Structure 1
Amino acid sequence: MESVLPVTNAKAERRSKSKTVHNTSKSSLLMGFLSCLAWLYVAGRLWQDAQNRTLLAGLLKKNSGQRPKVLTMEDKLSVLGCKGLERRIADAEMELTLAKSQGFLKNQLQQSGASSGKTLLAVIGVYTGFGGRLRRNIIRGSWMSRADVLKNLEERGIILRFVIGRSPNRGDSLDRGIAEESRANEDILILDHHEEAQEEMPKKVKFFFSAAVQMWDADFYIKVDDNVDLNFDGLTELLKSHRDKESAYIGCMKSGDVVVEEGKTWYEPEWWKFGDQKSYFRHAAGSIFVLSKNLAQYVHINSASLKAYAHDDVSVGSWMMGVNTTYIDDSRLCCSYSGQDKFCTLA
């Protein structure tokens, strides 16, 4: 028994070693095979990349004398196949602008004056704000002392509306309050695309003229501050006397120094654009000014590209410089100041 056991253990050990060597050989062969495949794959990719680089280098060399080294926007559009589409879009925009300038936008008018075929004398926009309800009520009690005053004014060819934008927080209590007041009085024009904020005020005039031109067909469009005391008989007489002028820009014409010091009243952030003398060009004071129909349409059609400065009256004055405008300076549209209060009366 003792002599048999060592022999049996030796045989088992030999079998185990033989099996281990056999398995190791299989693993080595498999690893070698996989390494060969990986090498062939990498070599193939490198050869393909080299072929591609050679082909591209040949093409670049061949075309180097025919195309600029730096592609322009025109070249990029041509490569992308957009050049023809770009021209068609530009042509369509020009045709649309021409159609609007020739009066085709009248088809979009929705007001009573357009539906009846009668052209109104004037559309008056009274600037107001969210905190101006008391002022609006005072005006309603003076300008609009009778319940049918708006109807009477419209019969005389005058549309009167308070003009206000939207709250910076759309749909809040300020917006809801204005909407409710508008439903109750029917005398408010809400500018949906304008945010009623101090820094946005110069843009408000563009939104007002654009909205008014699209809603009412009138000979004149007027911007008025809510602290101006209007005399409708005098205003009607003034407008009728200039009805034959197609490009009338009417107001209390003024100029003056540009305020360049930040923090001061009437500061103009872009003061450097007004030349070495820092003086404003001739323009109508912002308390009340009038544009004839074609000038208001010009503002509407080009509103997206018209530059707005820090003040709306200066902004409108800059737009009028670029067209054939008839400036009409009327002292009855001038205002006087007392401290922080402003008193304007059309005599």
Structure 2
Amino acid sequence: MAPLLQSSQPWVEKYRPKQVKDVAHQDEVVRVLTNTLETTNCPHMLFYGPPGTGKTTTALAIAHQLFGPELYKSRVLELNASDDRGINVVRTKIKNFAAVAVGSGRQGGYPCPPYKIIILDEADSMTEDAQNALRRTMETYSKVTRFFFICNYISRIIEPLASRCAKFRFKPLTEEIMSTRILYICKEEGLHLDSEALSTLSSISQGDLRRAITYLQSAARLFGSAISSKDLISVSGVIPGEVVQALFLACKSGNFDLANKEVSNLIAEGYPVSQMLSQLYDVVVEADNISDEQKARICKKFAEADKCLIDGADEYLQLLDVASNTMRALCNMPQDFSSGY
């Protein structure tokens, strides 16, 4: 039974670093936190940066290294975005946990300092009222409790909370760092990934190592030990480059019927339009033979369509609108009055 449980374990958890020093690419953060672990003098902390760069891993590693497996459950409170973290939870659950004093002294080789840790993952999704309620709790119980806030957008954390914390920015992972980690996992799992597939995986993951590992595991389960670039694209939901280019060239042609045909094909294939806008944006921005004014007009339409899609608009109509406005901009056709130009 044990091997079955092991094989069904997500690789994201299986290969999650257990110690702060093993966190990839965040050298400044690791250096400061290693010193913190040695002195056990831990401030309130705010970890921010893109997804999949090691924020939660680092927070959990600190807690495990301070308290060890025996005291971890009694000394650490983890709350994620999936938990209720409104103002009532702050006033009851968090406050009650923070208020209880604890003893100090090494136990089982772990330093076990005289305070507890509350980890608030996805803290930027907490309401402003809940964040305000935390201010007083942090001040009142700072001698016996430390708060670790983890978020993607530091701008969504109210200033009074941010100013009480030591801030640590987690950088997007470089292709080289991601490739090294992915190749290590491939070696451990007996997978073969050629250089093109490795480059594709880094590209479609956009610096998110968690996403890269998830794609890799999905591809391994579907296609076996030899994984190609095409296999990774098929499991990731990324639209193949030739499909994006076909729509872009149809827009450049000035032929509305051809563009409409490409749009219809995209919808029929079930490709997400929001993903198409993202990839089409990259094509437009990187194009050398398009003027800055044309790029501005096209990207403005991308933004409008993306907002409409979020609000629940029809995907076919929005993509057709984008295609026709892109065609108008590329072929220097007169703008309609609604476009703002």
**Into which bin does the TM-score normalised by the smaller protein fall?**
under 0.3
More strand by share: 1
User: TM-score, normalising length from structure 1?
Assistant: 0.20
More helix by share: 2
User: TM-score, normalising length from structure 2?
Assistant: 0.21
